[in-house]
């Protein structure tokens, strides 16, 4: 939260699976989480740069009946303990057919966090590994970094892309509009 009269906060919103973890799909259960060790080095640096750090994740397996909200929360709690720089993890448990405002590429999770933590989205970033993550960032008015390579059928084009997670620091430090 900001103090009265102080400027708005800036933030970075990370996807969960494929960014905080090494797999692009949700872990089978809380015993099968493979932490992305490289992101563990990146988060403290970004926090020192003055960014509030969040995780936003689509978890449609709840709507599909293959996981419970409690199972998703158990994984999130473990990740939250592993990444103490992250302030909050938000999960959308809907499927595409639910047409909710929180499911990426819609920006509902980002917008809610921006209101709650008084974030200037024009000075903020979304880091993800799919076009849906990038779409959520674009739709919220944030800058975007794709971790991975663009595919021909991607529906949104990121501001930046990298195949090395540690490059995120240099991209954000080097962005002259920030």
Task: Walk along the chain (178 residues) and give the pLDDT tens digit of each residue.
Answer: 544 445 689 999 999 999 999 988 888 777 889 999 999 999 999 999 999 999 999 998 999 988 899 998 999 999 999 999 999 999 999 998 899 999 999 999 999 999 999 999 999 999 999 999 999 999 999 999 999 988 877 899 999 999 999 999 999 999 755 4
17, 95, 98, 175: the catalytic one is 17
- The whole-angstrom separation of Cα 100 and Cα 109 is 10
Instruction: Check if 17 is active-site.
Output: yes
Superfamily of 10-174 according to CATH: HAD superfamily/HAD-like (3.40.50.1000)
State the pTM of this model.
0.92
CA–CA distance, 147 with 18 (Å, rounded to integer):
8
Q: Where are the domains of the chain?
A: 10-174
Which residue in 128, 159, 124 sits closest to 51, CA to CA? 124
Annotated active-site residue in 15, 98, 120, 154: 15
* Structure tokens belonging to residue 169: 């620091």
pLDDT for 28 equals 79
Distance between alpha carbon 48 and the CA centroid of its chain, in Å?
A: 18
């Amino acid at each position: 939260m900001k103090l009265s009269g102080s400027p708005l906060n800036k933030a970075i919103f990370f996807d969960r699976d494929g960014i905080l973890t090494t797999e692009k799909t949700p872990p089978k259960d809380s015993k099968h989480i493979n932490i992305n060790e490289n992101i563990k080095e990146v988060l403290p640096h970004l926090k020192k740069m003055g960014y509030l750090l969040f995780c936003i994740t689509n978890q449609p397996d709840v709507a599909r009946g293959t996981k419970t909200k409690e199972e998703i929360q158990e994984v999130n709690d473990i990740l939250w303990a592993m990444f103490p720089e992250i302030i909050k993890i938000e999960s959308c448990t809907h499927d595409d057919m639910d047409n909710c405002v929180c499911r990426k590429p819609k920006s509902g999770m980002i917008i809610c966090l921006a209101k709650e933590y008084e974030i200037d989205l024009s000075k903020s970033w979304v880091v993800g590994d799919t076009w849906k993550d990038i779409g959520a960032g674009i739709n919220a008015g944030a800058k975007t970094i794709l971790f991975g390579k663009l595919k021909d059928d991607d529906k949104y084009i990121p501001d930046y892309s990298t195949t090395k997670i540690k490059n995120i620091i240099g991209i954000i430090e080097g962005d002259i509009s920030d």
